[in-house]
């Protein structure tokens, strides 16, 4: 930064006094010239200060100039990313009011009541405790997915209705009705509940709608999404975000499945609510979120998960019809050979089969106790969860290829076993 220098105004030289003899008059000063000099001086000072200011600004902003002049590549060697033209679904959703207005009639709040046996509690008196139970109330969400005859059917999470002794559904006009569980899939964490049209009434029926489902397989990371649900039981609320990741492996209640990860806020009570694309189509059912706990110092934000509709859709007819999805099991028990208990036996890596349930898929195959299961459908078995993940994607009638190692003449050999699941 240049040092600012003060400029002194020029002082005119003194005029010599005229001789007395000549009695000449003292010449008058030219006021116009003096005024012009002052103006010129002011202009010079302004230009000097402006130059200093421009120099400072150039020093601060010179490195960022390419941001404001995107076509000027003289200041950087890096190539620029090409501008992205927003498609109809948008790069990021800012105003979702039209979508919310269209979809909200399909979203419901679900209240559950569950009897909890408290066992013994309170102070001991003469060696006896006080036993009892209490009713716990839970909040969740649901999506009107279908209707048939005298009933409408609502899709929600299994954990929203699990062990509930009473269920109540609240519609968009605040009308509440009793609901009944029709079918559940514990492994997928989904359930269908029904409400009779007679209980709903014609006035409310005219206000509610069946949701339109979308193709979750068409989602891309970065797509805008909207989550609607009964957050914390306060009533329906809306959050927006993007698809953070796809096929994210999540374990809930010992079941492993791939979910949609989003940074749209998912809170307690949002479970069973809709994850929507920008067209207002249901592409997932909000299920779980990651959060901090007492054992972690880290803060976890923006990690919510939804079950993809591509997983749910094939099961809807069965659940609406009142059938439960029991899931697929092989019917085996065993231990990982890499565990501490078996590491000293120098066995091949895999799942050592220690027991086979009578009448199970394993019992109706060539599997035997003592076999070591190493691969299922080409996936290496590195843990019990890795086996569950493969089985969790299977349905009855599907075929599964097992690769096992077995002993013959004191050495391990390998073979494949094909099982048709039931």
* Catalytically annotated residues: 159, 189, 271
| CA-to-CA dists, residue 222 to 92, 162, 266, 317, 413, angstroms | 8, 33, 17, 31, 47
**What are 34's two structure tokens?**
């003096």
Would you say 216 and 88 are in contact if contact means Cβ atoms under 8 Å apart?
no
| CA-to-CA dists, residue 184 to 19, 158, 187, 191, 259, angstroms | 124, 6, 9, 4, 18
Would you say 391 and 384 are in contact if contact means Cβ atoms under 8 Å apart?
no
Helix then strand then coil, in percent of the chain rounded to 5, is: 20, 35, 40
| CA-to-CA dists, residue 100 to 97, 106, 304, angstroms | 5, 10, 20
Phi-psi region of 61 (alpha: psi -120 to 50; beta: other; left: phi over 0): alpha
Task: Please give the full DSSP string across 38-64, using - where no structure is assigned.
Answer: HHHHHHHHHHHHHHHHHHHHHHHHGGG
Q: What's the first-to-final CA gap in the chain, in angstroms? A: 82
Q: Nearest Cα to 182, choosing from 128, 233, 142?
A: 142
Task: Please give the full DSSP string across 362-410, using - where no structure is assigned.
Answer: TTTSS--TT-EEEEETTEE--SHHHHHHHHHT--TT-EEEEEEEEEETT
Q: Nearest Cα to 372, choosing from 392, 399, 348?
A: 348
């Amino acid at each position: 930064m240049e040092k600012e220098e003060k400029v002194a105004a020029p002082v005119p030289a003194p005029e010599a006094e005229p001789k007395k003899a000549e009695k000449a008059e003292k010449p008058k000063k030219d006021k116009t010239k003096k005024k012009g000099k002052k103006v010129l001086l002011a202009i010079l000072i302004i230009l000097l200060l402006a130059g200093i200011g421009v120099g400072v600004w150039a020093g601060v902003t010179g490195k960022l100039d390419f941001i404001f002049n995107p076509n000027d590549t003289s200041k950087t060697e890096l190539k620029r990313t090409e501008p992205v033209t927003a498609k109809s679904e948008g790069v990021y959703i800012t105003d979702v009011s039209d979508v919310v207005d269209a979809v909200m009639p399909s979203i419901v709040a679900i209240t559950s009541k569950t009897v909890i046996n408290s066992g013994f509690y309170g102070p001991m008196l003469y060696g006896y405790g006080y036993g009892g139970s209490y009713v716990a109330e839970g909040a969740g969400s649901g999506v009107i997915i279908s209707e048939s005859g005298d009933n409408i059917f609502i899709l929600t999470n299994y954990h929203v209705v699990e062990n509930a002794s009473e269920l109540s559904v609240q519609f968009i006009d605040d009308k509440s009705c009793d609901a009944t569980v029709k079918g559940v899939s514990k492994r997928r964490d989904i359930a269908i509940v029904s409400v009779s049209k007679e209980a709903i009434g014609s006035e409310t029926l005219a206000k509610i709608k069946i949701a339109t489902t979308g193709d979750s397989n068409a989602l891309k990371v970065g797509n805008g999404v909207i989550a609607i649900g009964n957050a914390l039981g306060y009533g329906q609320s809306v959050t927006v975000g993007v698809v953070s990741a796809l096929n994210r492996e999540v374990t809930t209640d010992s079941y492993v499945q791939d979910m949609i990860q989003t940074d749209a806020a998912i809170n307690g009570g949002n479970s069973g609510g809709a994850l929507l694309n920008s067209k207002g189509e249901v592409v997932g059912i909000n299920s779980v979120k990651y959060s901090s706990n007492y054992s972690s110092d880290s803060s976890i934000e923006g990690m919510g998960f939804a079950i993809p509709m591509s997983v749910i859709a094939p099961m809807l007819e069965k659940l609406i019809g009142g059938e439960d999805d029991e899931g697929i099991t092989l019917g085996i028990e065993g231990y990982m050979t890499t565990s501490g208990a078996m590491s000293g036996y120098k066995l091949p890596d895999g799942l050592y089969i220690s027991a086979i349930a009578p009448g199970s898929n394993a019992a109706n195959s060539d599997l035997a106790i003592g076999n070591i299961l190493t691969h299922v459908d080409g996936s290496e078995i590195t843990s019990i969860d890795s086996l569950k993940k493969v089985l969790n994607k299977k349905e009855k009638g599907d075929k599964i290829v097992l690769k096992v190692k077995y002993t013959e003449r004191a050495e391990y050999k390998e073979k494949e076993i094909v099982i048709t699941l039931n």
